[in-house]
Structure formats: structure tokens, C-alpha cells
């Protein structure tokens, strides 16, 4: 889970966690890998067009990174979106090149507090992790844990005023990670117990939301939610 310092914004924690997993992705997914295999050149040849001709998605990404380094996140976003569309058009919906682009999109959208868009990109990341790491439970767990962190941070900071969808996603992710933990070669009993406990907490909150939405209920839920947020999963 993300341990956010009070002085830090939710965006800073989300971005830091994203880059940790991006580093793992670069080690474990050869460049050019997709669900369909490898491109002959070893990388995507996707491009879009400017007045001077086609622009490779690597060039779009290079420009976007330069803008991000100058904290020009709003200007970086259109380039990152074009790069993502280019790789999806060329290599399909599930290609390793998309991981870095999605992490950078999340970074820039987070800096602008565009939390609904951040949520959409985390949903795409989850789909990628599930396809690209289907045969690597360790890396899949890292990816799912990062997505879990997002939903818990959204609850912690009430980022978009949508607690029920985040609780549902967190519960689903805890269950998926529990299946991975139980199927591990050397199961971690402590982790399995924490995941089971978090599933129960998420389900109890969802039940309470289904019973009513009074101010007293919201205050009680806010206090009880700290149990979930302080868990070490």
C-alpha cells in the first residue's frame, strides 16, 4: 500500500509507485512483446502524421518526457495520448510498449487532479498486467498491488467522490491477489490472512453503503475505513 506522507499529494505517491513497477516491466517484458509475439524490428513501428510526415511513437514519447521534466504536464498529455493510440493501432490492445506510456499518462493526469481519467488508465494497466504477466505470477502480483494502491488512495483522499466503485474494485483485486497468494509455490500465510481480512472489510463497507447514506453512517465508515487503509498488503 502507498504510505503517503501528510505533506505529499496523492499524485506524488501514485507516480512514485508507478515508476517502481515500470522499472520491473522493463526488466521482465522484452521490448516489442505483445500478445501476438514480437515484431521483427524489436519495437513498434506505429506512427502518426504531422505536416512533415509520419512521427514514430518513440519520438512522441521523447517529446512528452521532455515536457514532463519541465513540469509542462498539460502539454505532454496530447503527445502521450497520440503515442498510446499509435501503439494500440499498430500492435494491438496488449503490447508492452504501452506500459511506460500509461504510467506517464497517469503521472500527468494526476498532476492535474484528473482523477476520473487516472482511474480509466489504471483500468487499462490492469488489463495489460493480466495479459502480459499471465505466466508470471510474481510480476502480476506487483501490477495488481499497484492498481489496488490506486483504489485505496482514492478512498483515503476521497479523490473523486466515488467510494462504492473503488470499494468494488478493491474487493475484486484482493480476491484475485488471494488466488495468486494461495497458489504460490511457498504461500505466505500472513499475506493470505491480510488479503482475506481486507476482502471482509471491503464487503462490510459495501453492505453498509447499500443500507443507507446518512451523515452518521458516512462518519462511521470514515473511522472504520482506517482499518483498511492501515493494512499492510
Residues 36-62: pLDDT tens digits?
Answer: 333 333 333 444 444 444 457 888 999
Which tens digits make up the pLDDT trace of 166-194?
999 999 999 999 999 999 999 999 999 99
3-state secondary structure of 99: helix
Give domain 1-134's CATH number out of 1.10.3470, 1.10.1070, 1.25.40, 2.60.40.
1.25.40
Which three-class secondary structure state does DSSP give residue 37? strand
Strands 37-38 and 47-50: unpaired
For 25, 146, 190, the CA distances from 128, given in Å and listed in that order, are 11, 13, 28
- Judged by average pLDDT, the poorest of 8-12, 75-79, 122-126, 223-227 is 8-12
Amino acid at each position: 500500500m502507498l504510505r503517503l506522507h501528510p505533506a505529499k499529494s496523492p499524485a506524488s505517491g501514485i507516480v512514485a509507485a508507478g515508476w517502481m513497477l515500470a522499472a520491473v516491466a522493463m526488466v521482465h517484458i522484452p521490448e516489442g512483446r505483445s500478445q501476438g509475439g514480437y515484431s521483427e524490428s524489436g519495437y513498434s513501428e506505429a506512427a502518426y502524421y504531422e505536416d512533415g510526415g509520419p512521427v514514430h511513437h518513440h519520438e512522441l514519447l521523447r517529446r512528452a518526457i521532455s515536457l514532463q521534466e519541465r513540469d509542462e504536464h498539460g502539454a505532454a498529455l496530447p503527445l502521450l495520448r497520440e503515442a498510446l493510440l499509435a501503439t494500440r493501432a499498430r500492435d494491438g490492445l496488449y503490447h508492452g510498449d504501452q506500459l511506460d506510456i500509461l504510467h506517464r499518462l497517469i503521472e500527468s493526469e494526476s498532476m492535474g487532479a484528473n482523477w476520473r481519467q487516472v482511474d480509466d488508465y489504471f483500468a487499462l494497466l490492469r488489463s495489460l498486467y493480466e495479459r502480459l504477466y499471465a505466466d508470471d505470477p510474481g510480476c502480476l502480483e506487483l501490477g495488481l498491488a499497484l492498481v489496488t494502491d490506486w483504489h485505496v488512495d482514492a478512498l483515503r483522499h476521497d479523490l473523486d467522490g466515488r467510494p462504492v466503485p473503488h470499494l468494488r474494485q478493491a474487493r475484486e483485486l484482493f480476491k484475485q491477489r488471494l488466488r495468486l497468494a494461495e497458489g504460490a509455490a511457498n504461500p505466505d500465510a500472513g499475506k493470505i490472512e491480510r488479503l482475506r481480512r481486507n476482502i471482509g472489510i471491503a464487503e462490510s463497507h459495501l453492505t453498509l453503503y447499500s443500507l443507507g447514506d446518512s451523515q452518521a453512517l458516512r462518519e462511521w465508515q470514515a473511522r472504520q475505513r482506517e482499518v483498511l487503509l492501515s493494512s499492510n498488503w
